[in-house]
C-alpha cells in the first residue's frame, strides 16, 4: 500500500511537470505577446520602446530561463505580477477562486443529489413508464449545451418574472448567494446529473442480475436494503469515477456559464487573460486547474481501495 502511494505520488509530480512544460510552450508558440498587444492598442510603432517593454517583462530572455524563473517562483509561492493590472497574480486570482468553487460545488451537489438516486430508480423500475421518462430526461441533459440552457433560463426569467439571475454585485447574505448561484449551478449541473443517471442505471442493472441480489430478496431483505445497500454499494465504483471526472471538469469547465451569467470567477478571468496574453495569469490558472484534476484522480484511486476491499494493489 505504501509503495503504491509513493509511486502514485511520483507519477503525479511527473504528470504536473509535463503539463507545466506544455502550458509554457504553447503560450510562447502562439503568435504575438503582451508587448505586441500593448503597441497595437496604443498605435505605437517605436521598436526601441517595444524592446524596452519586453526587457522589463523578461520576455527577451531565453525560453528556458523564463521557464526556470516561473517554476522557481511557484516553488517559493511567488506567482509573479499581472502584465495588465500590474498587481500580484495571487491578488488577482484569490478573490475569484471562492466564487468558482461555490458554483462548481453547487453544480456537483445538484448532479449527485439528482443523478444517482434517479439512476437507481430508473434501474429498479426498468422498462416501466417512469424508466422511459427518466431516460428521456437523461438524454435531454446530455444533448442540451449548458450555455444554451443558461440563455434559455435567462429569457424565461425575463419573460415571466421580469428578473435576470446574473451577478451584478457580491451577495450580502448566504441566502442571497445561494439563490444567485442556484440557477447557473443547475444549468451546468443538469448535464452532469444526466451522465451520472445513465451510468448509475447501467451499473445498477448489471449488479441487480447477480445471484447474491436474488439471495437477499429470497431471505426477505427489504426493498430499500436490497437496492440501496446491497446493489448500490457494489455498483458504486463506476459512479465514483464519473463523479470525480465531473468534479475535475467543473474546475475549469465553467467558462461559458460564468460568461452567460456574468459571474466573475476564475474560468471567465482565464479567457480574458488569454486574450491579452497575460502570461503569469494564464500559466498559474491553468497550472492550478491541472493540479486540481490530477489530485482528484488520485483521490478517486484512494476511494477505490476504501469502497471495494477486493481491489488489491501491487506491493
Asked which of 107-116, 186-195, 247-256, 265-274 is least confident by mean pLDDT, the reply is 247-256
Q: Is the pLDDT of residue 312 over 60?
A: no
> If pLDDT is split at 50, 70 and 90, which confidence band does 154 have?
confident
Residues contacting residue 81 through CB under 8 Å, at least 6 positions apart: 87, 88, 89, 280
Delineate the domains of the chain, giving CATH numbers in brackets.
Answer: 97-264 (1.10.3720.10)
> If pLDDT is split at 50, 70 and 90, which confidence band does 301 have?
confident
Residue 164 sits at φ, ψ, to 5 deg, of -115, 125
In percent, how much of the chain has pLDDT > 90?
4
Average pLDDT for the chain: 81
Closest by CA position to 269, among listed 27, 97, 35:
97
pLDDT for 27: 76
pLDDT digits (tens, 9 = 90+) for 159-177: 888 777 777 777 778 888 8
Closest by CA position to 246, among listed 203, 204, 292:
292
pLDDT digits (tens, 9 = 90+) for 211-239: 888 888 888 877 777 877 778 878 888 88
For 14, other C-beta atoms within 10 Å of its C-beta total 10
Give the burial class of 71: count Cβ atoms within 10 A of its Cβ; 0-12 exposed, 13-18 middle, 19 or more buried.
middle
Task: Give CA angle at 286 (248, 30), nearest 5°.
Answer: 135
| 3-state SS, residue 32 | coil
Amino acid at each position: 500500500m505504501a509503495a503504491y502511494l509513493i509511486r502514485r505520488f511520483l507519477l503525479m509530480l511527473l504528470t504536473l511537470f509535463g503539463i507545466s512544460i506544455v502550458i509554457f510552450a504553447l503560450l510562447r508558440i502562439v503568435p504575438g505577446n503582451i508587448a505586441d498587444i500593448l503597441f497595437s492598442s496604443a498605435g505605437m510603432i517605436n521598436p526601441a520602446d517595444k524592446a524596452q517593454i519586453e526587457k522589463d517583462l523578461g520576455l527577451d530572455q531565453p525560453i528556458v530561463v523564463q521557464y526556470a524563473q516561473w517554476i522557481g517562483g511557484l516553488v517559493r509561492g511567488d506567482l509573479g505580477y499581472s502584465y495588465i493590472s500590474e498587481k500580484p497574480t495571487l491578488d488577482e486570482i484569490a478573490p475569484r477562486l471562492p466564487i468558482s468553487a461555490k458554483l462548481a460545488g453547487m453544480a456537483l451537489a445538484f448532479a449527485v443529489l439528482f443523478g444517482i438516486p434517479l439512476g437507481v430508480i430508473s434501474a429498479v423500475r426498468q422498462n416501466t413508464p417512469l424508466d422511459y421518462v427518466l431516460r428521456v430526461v437523461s438524454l435531454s441533459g446530455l444533448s442540451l449545451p449548458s450555455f444554451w440552457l443558461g440563455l434559455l433560463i435567462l429569457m424565461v426569467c425575463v419573460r415571466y418574472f421580469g428578473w435576470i439571475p446574473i451577478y451584478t454585485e457580491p451577495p450580502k447574505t448566504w441566502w442571497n448567494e445561494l439563490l444567485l448561484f442556484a440557477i447557473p449551478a443547475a444549468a451546468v449541473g443538469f448535464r452532469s446529473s444526466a451522465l451520472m443517471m445513465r451510468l448509475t442505471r447501467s451499473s445498477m442493472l448489471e449488479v441487480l442480475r447477480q445471484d447474491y441480489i436474488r439471495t437477499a430478496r429470497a431471505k426477505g431483505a427489504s426493498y430499500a436494503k436490497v437496492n440501496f445497500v446491497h446493489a448500490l454499494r457494489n455498483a458504486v465504483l463506476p459512479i465514483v469515477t464519473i463523479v470525480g471526472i465531473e468534479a475535475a471538469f467543473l474546475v475549469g469547465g465553467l467558462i461559458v456559464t460564468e460568461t452567460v451569467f456574468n459571474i466573475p470567477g476564475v474560468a471567465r478571468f482565464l479567457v480574458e487573460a488569454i486574450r491579452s496574453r497575460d502570461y503569469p495569469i494564464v500559466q498559474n490558472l491553468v497550472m492550478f486547474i491541472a493540479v486540481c484534476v490530477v489530485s482528484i484522480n488520485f483521490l478517486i484511486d484512494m476511494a477505490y481501495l476504501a469502497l471495494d476491499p477486493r481491489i488489491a494493489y501491487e506491493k
